[in-house]
Structures are given as C-alpha cells and as structure tokens.
Amino acid sequence: MAKFVFALNQSLDGYVDHMAFGPDAVLFRHFIDDVRGLAGSLHGRRMYETMRYWDDDRPEWDEAEREYAAAWRNQPKWVVSRSLTSVGPNATLIGSDIEVAIRELKAQRDGVIEVAGPQLAGSLTELGLIDEYRIYLHPVVLGGGKPFFTGPRPPLHLVASDRIGADVIRLTYVSAER
C-alpha cells in the first residue's frame, strides 16, 4: 500500500507561494533526491499546471535544474481534475470517480506518493487518506495567500524535525488519531 505524503514549502505564517520564496542550493538538492525516490506524485490541476514548467528543457537552466527536471519527468504522475481533458507525458488523468480512483491508487501501489497542491491535500485529508504531512518551513512572512491547510485541520503528532540548508526546517507530522 502506498503512503500518501503532503509536502510543501510554507511561510512562517502558514502560506504557500512558490513565487514568493524558493529553495537554496542545499534544499533544492534535497528536493531532487526526494523526487527521485518517490513512487509517483498526485497533483491537483493548479499545481500540475505549475509543475509542467519542468516538462521542457530551458537553455538557462543549471545542472541542478536539469537534474530536477529529469527526476520529475521520470516519475509517474496522477492528475485530479474535472476540467482538464488531457495531461502531459508520464501522467494519468483522474477526472471521474475521484475518491474510488485515489483509493485504488493507494491500495495498488507501494512506496511514497507525494500529494502536491493544498486544495487536493485538503480533500484527501477530509477522506483520511494523507499519511504524513511535511512542512518545509521558511523564514518568510507573507501576510496572506493560499494556506498550507485549505480544509480540515486534523490533530497532528510531530514525528521528526530536520534542518535543511541554512534556514529551512522540515517538520514531519502524522495524524494523532491513527
């Protein structure tokens, strides 16, 4: 059975915005290694469209960006969307019977499947399907935006904290009800 992990960068005040802050070189290397080790990723439409940036090589990329793109492209992806009619390479569209399809995905796969996108994670939290939450806490205050938790706020239990790079702390939580 797969383990669904919701992992995302977050500001000190609880918001996510990939344009407001980004990873330093050490954290980016961590993300490259992390993506390489995943069994796949499950995306909501908006996050998938953002991540499609990595589908096409760009001449301005450095070696680390090319490595990340290769890891992203090699990873199986599932995209939850009722509005998309097609998805890119190595991706499968889940457009109907979403809960059934996601439960089947979890039951039929092994390894970690990263859940990408706060809206999707909120829906999966409500269904009790998120096994672990990884908050990459950055020393940034945004003052508003999209929150990390968009839906239910489950009682959580801290299982690990790790410093990554100079300024980021990864906080790992599981449900306190399990």
pLDDT in tens, 41-52: 999 999 999 999
pTM attached to this predicted model:
0.94
Question: E-strand spans in 11-155?
Answer: 15-16, 40-44, 77-80, 91-94, 111-116, 132-137, 146-147
Residues 91, 75 contacting (CB under 8 angstroms): no
List, in order of start, the domains of the chain with CATH numbers: 2-175 (3.40.430.10)
pLDDT tens digits along 78-106: 999 999 999 999 999 999 889 999 999 99
